[in-house]
Chain A
Amino acid sequence: MPPVTFQSLILTLQNFWAERGCAIEMPMDIEVGAGTMHPATYLRVLGPEPWNVGYVQPSRRPADGRYGDNPFRLGKHYQFQVILKPSPLDVQDLYLDSLRAIGLDLTKHDIRFEEDNWESPTLGAWGVGWQILLDGMEITQFTYFQQAGGIDLAPISAEITYGLERLTMFLSRKSSVYDIDWVGGVSYGAIRKQDEYEFSKYYFETADIDLHWKLFDAYEGEARRCLDAKLVLPAYEWTLKCSHLFNTLDARGAVSVTERVGVIKRVRDLAVRCAQQYLESRRDLGFPLMQRNEGNSSS
């Protein structure tokens, strides 16, 4: 097995899923907590249109920051996200093939699928699935989406989320995330450690609480305005910004227990309206991706 680097893993996964008909999307270009929040997942899983996609998503979790001191925890980590809609019956086998593509001889490893259901109160979404354990270590989150934006889904999407740092650490036998090679000779730490430190310092100690609350109110208002103007995609971007502001305020210790429920509800209300409006907008457009599919199947 050739030495695995952070980027060789990304490239292998991109190629693997591209060869299986996935559109390779680019990361969402505003702050999100997980690949699930990218419109290519959260919105595309709605409605009847088939959709297969793969992309890297930098995922920010302000509260998980450790000033670059903890070898396992990061305030920002990278996910490789795959959506297969409808979920094919052989999706687990496809996933195992992707591990083989990375260079793992699965007969010499332990692979298990252990129950781990997913729920996002801020997105009004939940699914059923597993954490996939490679030799006892969680490397992937696998979810059959059941609901998004409070809407029952049909067809069902399978979501595969690879934890890229974890997987690289394990494959290259490194005991700290900062020691893995991003590319030969350049470590992950050399590229990322400074921003782990600075953002930990910012999110935990420096972020201006008043400004963040003001921004939250303003962004929420703008999201509503966009929804009223039937511009669902801009509305969803403002919603994502609200979500990130909430995470920042939370890490900063600025959200009390009583406030918490209320703020989560404000984000969820926006997310749910976006989901409903997105579905309507696709219906108005005649579900364009359906036609592509019909064209394919008749050929």
Chain B
Amino acid sequence: MAEYFFELLTEEIPAWMFQSSWTTPVDTALEKLCGELGGGKWKTDATSRRLIIFLRDLPLREEDREIEVKGPPKKSPDAALQGFLKKQNATTGDIIESADEYIRIRKKIAGRDISALVQERIPQLIESLRWPKMMRWGAGGHSYIRPVHSIVSIFEGEHLPVTIFGVASDVKTVGHRTLAPQPFKVDSYHDYLKKLELASVDVEAAHRKNVMVQRALVLAKQAGGVPSEDVSIWAQWQYLTEYPGVVRAEFRPEYLALPEEVLVTVMRVHQKQLPIRDRDGKLTSSFLAVLDNEGDPEGNAAYGNSFVTNARFADAQFFYDTDRRKKLEERIEQLAHLQFQEKLGNYAEKTERVKRIAIAIASHIDADLGHVETAAKLCKADLVTEMVKEFTDLQGKVGGIYAREEGLPEPVWQAIYDHYQPANVDDALPRNLVGVIVSLADRLDTLTGFFRIGLKPTGSKDPFALRRAAQGAVQILLNRDQREVRLSIGELLDLVPESAAARTDLVAFFAERIATILEASAWQFAYDEIRAVMESGWLNIPLTDLVDRISALKAIRDEADFLSLLDSVKRITNITQDHDSTRVDASLFDSDIERRLNELADLVSSQIADFASERRYREALQSFAALAPELEKFFDDVMVMVDDERVRANRKSLLMKTAHALKPIADVRQIVVDRRDYRT
């Protein structure tokens, strides 16, 4: 069993890249490599400027193996055979019996040294990694995430020379950039861990994170609080340093009067700092920052972090004071100078359209028209505030905060605040119905606009995030509480007159979005269930009804009667391929079975219509399933393909009519039946 250790020393790599461009691809590649080598365990790690691989339990040599090699035809001249053997370094003794007309030999392939394989593969792996933003350096001959400084490559305690981008490996590395910069030798991974710990470097990212979390808790507790929950900060912090340090700093308490959203955004997004909250969850004037040092004995890092955060807040205070001298209402005309899209005009025009659509939606459902109009009119006004110009990710929120301070009614300011929600699948909907309507109207306008000027998403390209816009609209329409918007996509598109020109494309786009969203949803709908129901018409029913129909189908699809029915429908489909009438002539019946099926089909059809109108889809499907025994009986006792053309056509019509009874709810022909599952 052998060990291999590799370190590449580079310059500080952007923290957000490690997971996707190092850990994930390298783990995958090493898993494959160990499989190929016939065993071994792997571990990858990284600090802000080191990439580390450790392989252990490796076999020393690859297994020997035998392969068959095909030679010339048996009937070829001897010279051909000799040439072949010579080339393969074989003798006539290696020839084996073969059934076909070719000579075949068995050849032994000696397993290679694992070290030789590692020596070949590791440099290939490292050089082939594609980082999001590569650079060149020095003479400019190589392109990588950052310049390569040195490489440690050790196999079983011995240097295993490799070369990457012209840099030859060695067994030397360095410690922390400022605390222990002197080079030193290492002879194994464990030696490396130990020596680097003494040199103020914690090599293991997960360990650094744990240490930081613990320090953060202690430091926050000393300030009488707890660190804010923040997954993204921790994901970054662990790769921002080599030593897992955390420092606490304070900003001037008067800045606590600024909106909390602004304070948190400045700290988290712009400074990568972690706010501290008190026991009641209220923001305090203390916060935490990452520190690539063992401590802060002179308080320099605390001072520096306070200094820069105070400076940022001073700016924010300036923006806040400036912005509040002007009401949102007075900003609307400025929106005429802010372009939305070259061909779709400016934000004043967009606002007008959004307002019109929002009012149209609101008048179709029970919503406060006045609130909807005000919220829609003001929803984009914050785009011309100093605060949003500086902190763009606060759009919407800033408008909502200013609207609240202007004393606008709660439903209005909340609607402005929330109208960019849901920003993604996991995001919440706007808090109230007004917000939901404005969000929906904004999305419909954006989608219609871009589709109208021919800028719809293609393949993986979606530069205007239209899929996300549609996704949010669908999430809103799937919701059923006091914020429910019970309108179909068809009705909504009718409320946007400009959509007419691109209607076909928009409908197809929504169909695809809805199917994708439903398939990935918590309902766990199968693709054929979604298709069966959507095929029978989705455009003109509210999406909540669509979900109810699919749920009903999902619930019933494995019941014996329904499965039998599906079987019958398939038979009917085959029999009636060249037939397209459902008109039945009762005078042509010659058996009670036919008469009975006809009566039942009429009854079931009307039942299904009734149930459907009451949205009792489960019962509608059950009523359809009740046809199963009758249909089976029909197929057992009645011959469809009789000579009399009129009787034959009439029976086909009867079958078709029966099969069509469920058409308004689902096209059951789309259901895929696994035959092993049924008739047991």
Which residues in A have some Cβ–Cβ distance to B below 8 Å? Answer: 70-73, 86-89, 92-93, 96, 106-115, 117, 127-128, 130, 134-138, 144, 146, 153-156, 169-170, 173, 175, 256-258
> Is there contact, CB below 8 Å, between A86 and B139?
yes
**Residue of A at shortest CB range from B17?**
A115
Contact flag A135-B300 (CB < 8 Å), given A86-B140, A155-B139, A257-B338: yes
Total A-B Cβ pairs within 8 A:
123
**Residue of B at shortest CB range from A139?**
B304
The 8 closest A-B pairs by CB, nearest first: A135-B304, A154-B140, A115-B14, A136-B305, A113-B12, A128-B135, A106-B178, A137-B308
Among B12, B14, B315, B339, the residue within 8 A (CB) of A112 is B12
B572 beta carbon closer than 8 Å to chain A: no
> Is there contact, CB below 8 Å, between A156 and B339?
no
Among A70, A128, A156, A256, the residue within 8 A (CB) of B140 is A156
With A92-B11, A113-B12, A137-B304 given, name 10 new contacts (CB 8 A).
Answer: A72-B315, A89-B147, A92-B177, A110-B245, A115-B12, A127-B135, A135-B305, A136-B301, A153-B136, A154-B139
Of B223-231, B285-293, B323-331, B405-413, the segment with at least 4 beta carbons within 8 Å of chain A is B285-293
Residues of B within 8 A of A257 (CB): 337-339, 346
Residues of A within 8 A of B14 (CB): 115
Residues of A within 8 A of B305 (CB): 135-137
Subset of 23 A-B contacts with CB under 8 Å: A73-B315, A86-B138, A87-B147, A92-B11, A106-B178, A107-B179, A108-B297, A108-B298, A110-B291, A110-B301, A112-B48, A114-B240, A136-B273, A136-B304, A136-B305, A144-B135, A144-B137, A154-B140, A156-B136, A156-B139, A156-B140, A175-B307, A258-B339
> Is there contact, CB below 8 Å, between A113 and B135?
no
Residues of B within 8 A of A96 (CB): 177-178
> Is there contact, CB below 8 Å, between A136 and B271?
yes
> Is there contact, CB below 8 Å, between A70 and B318?
yes
In the bound complex, how far is the Cα of B11 from the Cα of A156, in angstroms?
16
B47 beta carbon closer than 8 Å to chain A: no
In the bound complex, how far is the Cα of B180 from the Cα of A58, in angstroms?
37
Among A88, A89, A138, A156, the residue within 8 A (CB) of B308 is A138
Chain A nearest Cβ from B306, distance in angstroms: 9
In the bound complex, how far is the Cα of B614 from the Cα of A188, in angstroms?
79
Residues of A within 8 A of B273 (CB): 136
Category for how many chain B residues contact A:
35 or more
B605 beta carbon closer than 8 Å to chain A: no
> Is there contact, CB below 8 Å, between A115 and B15?
yes
In the bound complex, how far is the Cα of B11 from the Cα of A115, in angstroms?
11
Q: Which of A72, A92, A135, A138 has the most CB of B within 10 A?
A: A135
Would you list which residues of chain B between 508 and 527 have a CB under 8 Å from chain A? none
B303 beta carbon closer than 8 Å to chain A: yes
**Residue of A at shortest CB range from B294?**
A107
In the bound complex, how far is the Cα of B318 from the Cα of A114, in angstroms?
27
In the bound complex, how far is the Cα of B139 from the Cα of A89, in angstroms?
10
Residues of A within 8 A of B147 (CB): 87, 89
> Is there contact, CB below 8 Å, between B314 and A117?
no
Contact flag A170-B301 (CB < 8 Å), given A130-B12, A136-B289, A156-B136: no
Contact flag A144-B314 (CB < 8 Å), given A89-B147, A135-B300: no
Chain A nearest Cβ from B501, distance in angstroms: 25
Contact flag A107-B178 (CB < 8 Å), given A114-B240, A257-B339: yes
In the bound complex, how far is the Cα of B175 from the Cα of A107, in angstroms?
13
Among A72, A114, A146, the residue within 8 A (CB) of B136 is A146
Would you list which residues of chain B between 1 and 45 have a CB under 8 Å from chain A? 11-12, 14-16
B311 beta carbon closer than 8 Å to chain A: yes
Residues of A within 8 A of B289 (CB): 136
Among B139, B241, B293, B311, the residue within 8 A (CB) of A109 is B293
In the bound complex, how far is the Cα of B137 from the Cα of A163, in angstroms?
24
In the bound complex, how far is the Cα of B308 from the Cα of A70, in angstroms?
14
Chain A nearest Cβ from B491, distance in angstroms: 35
**Residue of A at shortest CB range from B145?**
A128
